[in-house]
Structures are given as structure tokens and as C-alpha cells.
Structure 1
Amino acid sequence: MILSREGSKLVYHRLAWKEPFAPHLLQVLYEDDDMVALNKPSGLQVLPKGIFQQRTVLAQLQWKEWKMPPSSCSKRKNVQLHPVPVHRLGRGTSGLLLCAKTKLAKVQLASYFAEGAANAEKKRDGTEVGKERKISKFYRALVTGILEHDGDVVTQPIGLVHYPGVAEGLYVACSSGKPAMSKVCVLERLAHQNQTLVQVEIHSGRPHQIRIHLAYIGHPLVDDPLYCIGGQPKFHDLESTSTDISFAYDGGYERPLQPVPGDCGYHLHAHWLVLSHPTTNK
């Protein structure tokens, strides 16, 4: 017990915050008055979380001085710039990241992604229920093993389970989870390496969906540190887990000893997307 007199001051000296290194170069692939498409490098986090608070895509979007073209300023006087990502890519995932530049574009683009998730309820043959999708995302992934069929549709639900070091839980293949759908297409079989290059189109946006679905069908991503066959975490002894209490490594964050979702190393790239423009509908 600490006894103090009235008016006493308690001073706490916390350790200096130190974020680990992260790549920062963002190539602009497309830009107009409403949105911008970026090429995100593997290792760069999209939104602040955990040990990454400043070295993120969101921070870079907010620091950049965006300017509306003179031609649009006269027509859109009430437009407020509000640059934010409208979907996420895992920290270890590279490739296309779509960002809105205005609040109106953000609402519209976010509704496209929400519609895709809502339409994840599928018929047995894999066709989609609902109206035509406004946005489609295609990834390329390098997986372990040789896929037998040229195409496959994975509809395994994805849900949360308790996992040490991840406060909100870990997403895994789970029968009680939310519906998810991924269409897998073989691009190249690398027999001498026992690997397959595939294209994956996702019809829903569950966290780590591609990693989980490919692992679920027996072909985890090459060098995936977290998910193994079955869409479950590689670390199985979940009850006897401790954390590294050496604070010097990451400035005060207790880094888990077992793999966590933010770990990199896997081979997954957001390759291309097709969408209806948020204002012109083209």
C-alpha cells in the first residue's frame, strides 16, 4: 500500500515506444477524385494494431497531402477528403489495396464489400444467391502440394476460437462460424517443388479466409507460420503457453512465443480486382 498526502504527485516513467521495422513504399496503381489503388508490400500493416501504431498504410494516407483536381473542385465544393482503406490485407499479404479518398466513396465501396459478405450463403453447386456483385477480388497464392483438380469451390465456415496472445481470438475453420466462399483455380503445377500456383477469388471477406480455406483442403500456403492442414493453427498446446517478457525487443509489448496472425512469410498476393466505380458506376 502506498500512502500519500493530499496534493502528492505520482509519476510513471514508461519505456519508450519502439515499433519494429516495416517497409513503407506504396506504389500508386490507380487514382482519381474518389479512390486510389495501392500496391502494398508484404510486412506493412494496413490499420494500427498491436505493436504497429504509426508504421501503417492508414498513417501514410493521413500524412499525404491529397489535392483535388481544379476541374473537380468547382463541381464538388462540399467534398471532404477522407483517405482510408476500405478493406484489409494481412500484414504478410502483398498487392492491391483499395482506398477511398472521400467519405461518400468510403460508404459506397464499403457497401460493395458488405454485399459480398451478405451473399456468402451459397447453393450446393456453389452459385451465388443475390444480385450481381459490385466488386470482385482475385489473389495469387503459392501452396504446398499438388492440387488434383483444376478448380475447386471451398465453402467452409470461418469462426473464432480462443488462442493465447490474441485477445479477440483466432479465426479458424469452424463449423459454427460465418459462411465463407473461395473459388480456387490452378494456374501452374510445380511438380519438382511439390507446390501449386493458384488463383483464388473470394466471395466473402472473412479474416485470413484464403489462408484458412487453402489449408482446410490440405494445401496450406508455402511457409505459412500459423495455419496447417485442416485450417487450424500449428500451435496445439494452447493451455501451457507463456509469453516472452523481454520488453527490450518490441518496446513493451509482450510478444507471444507461438505464431500469431500478423506473422509474415507466406506467399499470398492480391493480384487484381474488378469493381463498379463508387460515383460513376462504370
Structure 2
Amino acid sequence: MEVNRIEIEEELAGTRLDRVITMNRPEISRTQIQQWIKDGNILVNDQAVKPNYRVRENDCIVIDEPEPEELNIIAEDLNLEIIYEDQDVLIVNKPRGMVVHPAKAHASGTLVNGLMYHCKDLSGINGVLRPGIVHRTDKDTSGLLMVAKNDIAHVSLVDQLVEKSVKRVYLALVHGHIPHNNGTIDAPIGRDEIDRQKMTVTERGKDAVTHFKIVERFKDYTLVECELETGRTHQIRVHMEYIGHPLVGDPKYGLKNTIPFGGQVLHAGTLGFTHPRTNEYVEFTVEPPEDFQTLLNEVRNSVDK
């Protein structure tokens, strides 16, 4: 293990422990740091504390950094659609039906399996199961994801997500007729206390903001463009259901009487961010997959429009 010591000076007194360590070790994500604190790898004055502990002047922080685990992910040729790639970042167009990272239920066929085959230089900040993964989308959501190829790029991209400067625009087909042309949904999202597999709008949740505008209207459906200001789990799905317009095909938050699509009709079409090396803004856009567009044409050409 690599051991690091941090002595707290007066100007840092009152700062959260995880924030202090992030300031000293910017190449490590705050999520990873919080896990190390919980695992007892980070002690304050030889005592275990919580991540939200407020440091005091002259506190001695000791970090026993665990040895990185060897990646044990099967590299698979999944014919990933790489939209852009350089020495720092990779932009991939994830197909609908593909899980982002491995788990017990799906150890293969994930985006990470494909990334491990495509390139060996991925950041290790998120551990052995999620190398390079900066953010994720649900299994049945298609579209753009950014991947970090080194830890410096990873920190930069995560910081931009925290600062809400990443542009993420989705296309969604929802139930019902939305009368106004645009709007903002500002409603906190947290875990549903009854069904722990679901998220819900709750006062105890985290801030969540979704901006939307109408792209096309049909009799029973509306095609909307949703731009994320925050990135909570299932945010668009939860927010659209909250205002009475759940996503078509959504098995978790949608209507029982819906178009059979095999999952929510949701596509991450535009992704923009500041490049971690050049500091220039870059933006990428991809059209929805063929099945998404076929469904839209069917709805568009329906006599019920």
C-alpha cells in the first residue's frame, strides 16, 4: 500500500474530509475517496470517521491507499460504434439493450467488455468493473457516452459533470399531449421507500433539473427533447412520469397500456464538453437508432395523428 499523510492547516479547518483529500489527490474521484473512508483506509488522528467529517486544524490524515486490483473483465469484440477517439477521451454510441458495466447478472456483453477489447488505456478511477466510465445510461437507452482514457481526463470530465457544464440532450417519446412548447422540471429525486428498485420525486431526494422542449406532437404522444442540468438516476424517466407524461415503453415508470418497444423510447443524441487537454468545447450528435426512427414513422403515419 502507498501511505500518504496530510496535516490540516488553519485555512482548511471546517472543510469536509472527502473534499480535503480530493483537493490533495485530484486524480482520485470523490466516490472512490468516500469508499476508502468507509473501508477504513483513511483515518483522522488514527480514528475512523465519516466522509462528511469536518477537519480541524492540526488534524493528521493518513491514507493507506489499497493496491489496485487487477482487471478481471473479459475483453469482447462487440463491434462498438466509436464516434470519436484521441489519447484522452473516447465517445461511443451505445446501442439499446447494452448494459454499461458488468455485474453478477451480466458479466459479459457490456459496454466495458467491449471497451476492454477496443483499447487497453482506460482510467482506473472507478475500479475494476467500470474502467474509464465517467457517466452511464440505462440498458435500454441508446446514444452517446464519454469514456476517459486516463485519470487526468477522468477527473476533468467528472468535475464538468459536477459543475453542470456538460451538455447532454436526449430525445424521448412520451405519452399524452403536452400543450406548452417548453418547460423546466425542478423536482428532487431519491430512492422510492416502497420499491427500492425505483426512484421517485421526494423532498428527501437530491436536486434534479430537466429542461424540455417539444419536437413534434401526435394525437396520443409527444416527441420531446430533454436537456439534463443534473444527472440523477432515471432522471428523465422519473421527471416525465412526475408531470404526467411517462416515456413510451418504460417498464418501470410507464403505463401498462403502452407501445411494445422492449424498453423506454429514449436516446442520448447530443453530448458536449470541454476537452480535458485542449480546453476547447467539443460537441457530438448522433441520430436515434433504426428501431427508434421506425417507431416514430409508424406513429407519425398513423391515422390517429
Q: TM-score range by the shorter chain?
A: 0.5 to 0.7
Q: Secondary structure at the match of 1:222?
A: coil
Residue 103 of structure 1 and its aligned partner are, at CA, apart by 1.4
TM-score, normalised to structure 2, is: 0.59
Query: Does 1 or 2 have the higher relative contact order (CA < 8 Å, sep 6+)?
Result: 1
TM-score, normalised to structure 1, is: 0.64
Which amino acid counterpart does residue 153 of structure 1 have in structure 2? T
Matches within 5 A, 1:235-250: none
Aligned mate of 1:207, from 224, 233, 245: 233
Q: Secondary structure at the match of 1:111?
A: helix
Aligned mate of 1:196, from 211, 222, 227: 222
Would you say the 8 A contact 1:25–1:41 is kept in 2?
no
Would you say the 8 A contact 1:189–1:197 is kept in 2?
yes
Residue 64 of structure 1 and its aligned partner are, at CA, apart by 2.5
Change (3 A) 1:110 1:53: same
Count of residues in correspondence between the two structures? 193
Give the Cα–Cα distance (whole angstroms) in 2 for the partners of residues 65 and 273 of structure 1.
21
Give the Cα–Cα distance (whole angstroms) in 1 for the partners of residues 103 and 189 of structure 2.
22
Change (3 A) 1:213 1:53: same
Would you say the 8 A contact 1:222–1:267 is kept in 2?
yes
Matches within 5 A, 1:85-104: 85-104=133-152
Q: Which runs of 4+ in 1 moved over 4 A?
A: none
Aligned mate of 1:150, from 181, 186, 196: 181
Aligned mate of 1:278, from 257, 276, 279: 276
Give the Cα–Cα distance (whole angstroms) in 2 for the partners of residues 218 and 50 of structure 1.
35
User: Could you list the per-position Cα deviations for residues 123-148 of structure 1 after superposition, in whole angstroms to 9, with x for gaps in the alignment?
Assistant: xxxxxxxxxx2x11000000011111
Would you say the 8 A contact 1:24–1:44 is kept in 2?
no
Q: Secondary structure at the match of 1:104?
A: helix
5+ residue gaps, structure 2: 1-76, 124-130, 281-305
Give the Cα–Cα distance (whole angstroms) in 2 for the partners of residues 91 and 174 of structure 1.
24
Matches within 5 A, 1:101-250: 101-116=149-164, 133=165, 135-162=166-193, 169-191=197-219, 194-228=220-254
Residue 81 of structure 1 and its aligned partner are, at CA, apart by 4.5
Which structure has more helix as a fraction of its residues? 2
Give the Cα–Cα distance (whole angstroms) in 2 for the partners of residues 115 and 207 of structure 1.
17
Residue 264 of structure 1 and its aligned partner are, at CA, apart by 4.8
Which amino acid counterpart does residue 138 of structure 2 have in structure 1? G
Which amino acid counterpart does residue 231 of structure 2 have in structure 1? G
Q: Secondary structure at the match of 2:163?
A: helix
Change (3 A) 1:264 1:89: farther
Which amino acid counterpart does residue 182 of structure 1 have in structure 2? T
Residue 107 of structure 1 and its aligned partner are, at CA, apart by 1.1
Residue 33 of structure 1 and its aligned partner are, at CA, apart by 1.3
Residue 63 of structure 1 and its aligned partner are, at CA, apart by 2.6
Q: Secondary structure at the match of 2:149?
A: strand
5+ residue gaps, structure 1: 1-22, 67-79, 117-132, 235-262
